[in-house]
């Protein structure tokens, strides 16, 4: 899959930009805070209908403007796809495919598979379980719409159940109905996550070894209450507690992945370089997992990969992504030498864009 053209209007600090990309390597060069990451984030938005940095659509609209608009032209499985994403303050966002608006925005997820490696990935290690669940959900959802639907159903039931608990409702029949709906969705989510961790972990371990060039032992441990008992039992056992708290305290919405280095949590023992290697390996494994799902080759976004990694590990990442299995790549960096070295290692067609104060221009090279 190739993103051939992207038009940006009023997205964050970018007033207007029209970019024609190389089918292979595209580099964004400029100082920090100039808008390089915002260009990558616009590409991310086209795939996920939301920013990688904020859940607020209003925050993506340029200061002082009333709307933002992203328009992309993709080559996917031999066909041209025209996608537009628009946000107007105070109104529902609009996502269109070839001029036709989606009935449900969830229908778009997975059409344009994408993997982004960024400094924000540090939160996967240092943050709470929500960050790691979001990783799982985004990976599985791009290749499994049944999982995405189960996730939507579960969260809808969870919201309703929490509202009932807050309001002190005591109708057992009503709770029974909501719980039954919630349990069906939970079991589907749990099953998909189990299958995912079994297939994903060996891929991740291989990439970690290739990047670190070492025999450090790493693994991913999936933690879920459903390992031991059903979701129905979990809800029944904790019902009294939930009525006192006013929310659902247990369930698959508290699942987590423990990121292990040897027998210790990575966040407790890993160096900055090890942590960055860990998250990069997670993302590259995500790329392989999406390809194995049978869809088009995902776009790969590498935002500031030189930060906190030694030159040897960066070279290993570049060597990995230069393989034929990887398709179109977007790279951002502040250092022209880093960009030139990466281009030389990757080979093939490339374009460099200079980004300054939200303005983008193609460099003649």
Structure confidence by residue, pLDDT tens digits, 91-132: 989 999 999 999 999 999 999 999 999 999 999 999 999 999
Helix, strand, or coil (residue 246): coil
Decide if 259 contacts 124 (C-beta within 8 A). yes
Residue among 161, 140, 162 nearest 151 (CA): 140
Residue 29 to residue 50: CA distance in whole angstroms: 24
Supply the mean pLDDT for the chain.
94
| Helix axes of 129-143 and 272-292: crossing angle, nearest 10 degrees | 20
> What pLDDT is recorded for position 173?
86
Equal CATH topology for 1-113+297-365 and 125-294: no
- In this prediction, residue 350 carries a pLDDT of 96
What confidence score (pLDDT) does residue 81 get?
Answer: 98
- Give me the pLDDT at residue 117, please: 94
In sequence order, the 6+-apart residues with CB closer than 8 A to the CB of 292 are: 199
- Is 34 labelled a binding residue? yes
What pLDDT shows up at residue 214?
Answer: 83
Q: What is the mean pLDDT of residues 79-102?
A: 96
pLDDT confidence of residue 28: 97
The pair phi, psi for residue 148, each rounded to 5°, is: -60, -40
Which is more confident, 324 or 202? 202
User: How would residue 78 be classed by pLDDT, with cut points 50, 70 and 90?
Assistant: very high
Average pLDDT over residues 266-290: 93
Q: Is the pLDDT of residue 175 over 80?
A: yes
Rounded Cα distance between 100 and 336, Å, is 41
32 is in an annotated binding site: yes
Q: What is the mean pLDDT of residues 75-92?
A: 95
Residue 30 annotated as binding site: yes
Between residues 62 and 170, which one has the greater pLDDT?
A: 62
> How far is it, in rounded angstroms, from Cα 166 to Cα 164?
6
The class level of CATH for 1-113+297-365 reads: alpha beta
Q: What is the structure's pLDDT at 170? A: 72
What's the gap between Cα 340 and its chain centre?
Answer: 27
pTM (two decimals): 0.93
Across the range 119-146, mean pLDDT stands at 93
CB burial string 24-51: b at 16+ within 10 A, e below: bbbbbbbeeebbbbbbbbbbbbbbbbbb
pLDDT at 295: 84
> Looking at residue 65, what is its pLDDT?
96
Sheet holding 299-303, edge to edge: 114-117, 299-303, 329-333, 25-29, 350-356, 359-362
d(CA 30, CA 355) in angstroms, rounded, equals 5
Identify the CATH homologous superfamily for domain 125-294: RecF/RecN/SMC, N-terminal domain (1.20.1050.90)
Q: DSSP of 252-265, one letter per residue?
A: GGG-EEEEEETTEE
The reported pLDDT for the residue numbered 111 is 95
Percent of the chain with pLDDT over 70: 100
Domain limits of the chain?
1-113+297-365, 125-294
Confidence of residue 224 (pLDDT cuts 50, 70, 90): very high
Judge whether residue 308 has pLDDT over 80. no
Using pLDDT thresholds of 50, 70 and 90, give the confidence band for residue 10: very high
3-state secondary structure of 351: strand
pLDDT at 56: 92
By the 8 A CB rule, do 179 and 232 touch? Answer: yes
Average pLDDT over residues 276-299: 93
Query: What would the mean pLDDT of 134-159 be, rounded to a whole number?
Result: 95
């Amino acid at each position: 899959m190739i993103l051939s053209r992207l038009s940006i209007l009023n997205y964050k600090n970018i007033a207007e930009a029209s970019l024609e990309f190389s089918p292979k390597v595209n580099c964004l060069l400029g100082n920090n805070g100039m808008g390089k990451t915002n260009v990558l984030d616009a590409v991310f938005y086209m795939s996920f209908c939301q920013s990688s940095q904020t859940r607020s659509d209003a925050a993506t609209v340029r200061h002082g403007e009333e709307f933002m608009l992203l328009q992309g032209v993709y080559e996917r499985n031999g066909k041209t796809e025209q996608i537009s994403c628009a946000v107007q303050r105070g109104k529902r966002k609009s996502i269109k495919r070839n001029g036709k608006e989606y009935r449900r925005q969830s229908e778009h997820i997975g059409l344009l598979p994408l993997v982004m490696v960024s400094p924000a990935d540090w939160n996967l290690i240092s943050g709470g379980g929500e960050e790691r669940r979001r990783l799982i959900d985004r990976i599985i959802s791009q290749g499994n719409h049944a999982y995405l639907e189960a996730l939507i159903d579960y969260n809808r039931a969870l919201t309703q159940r929490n509202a009932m608990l807050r309001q002190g409702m005591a109708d057992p029949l009503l709770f029974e109905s909501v719980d039954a709906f919630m349990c069906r969705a939970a079991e589907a989510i749990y099953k998909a996550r189990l299958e995912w961790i079994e297939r994903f972990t060996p891929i991740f371990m291989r990439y970690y070894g290739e990047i670190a060039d070492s025999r450090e032992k790493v693994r991913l441990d999936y933690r879920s209450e459903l390992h031991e008992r059903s979701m129905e039992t979990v809800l029944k056992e904790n019902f009294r507690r939930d009525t006192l708290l006013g929310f659902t305290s247990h369930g698959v919405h508290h699942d987590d992945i423990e990121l292990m280095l040897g027998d210790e949590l990575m966040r407790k023992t890993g160096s900055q370089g090890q942590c960055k290697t860990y998250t990069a390996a997670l993302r590259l494994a995500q790329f392989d997992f999406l390809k194995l799902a049978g869809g088009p080759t995902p776009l790969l976004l590498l935002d500031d990969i030189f930060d906190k990694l030694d030159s040897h590990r960066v070279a290993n990442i570049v060597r990995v992504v230069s393989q034929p299995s990887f398709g179109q790549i977007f790279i951002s960096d502040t250092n022209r030498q880093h960009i030139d070295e990466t281009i030389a290692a990757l080979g093939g067609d490339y374009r460099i864009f200079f980004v300054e104060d939200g303005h983008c221009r193609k460099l003649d090279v």
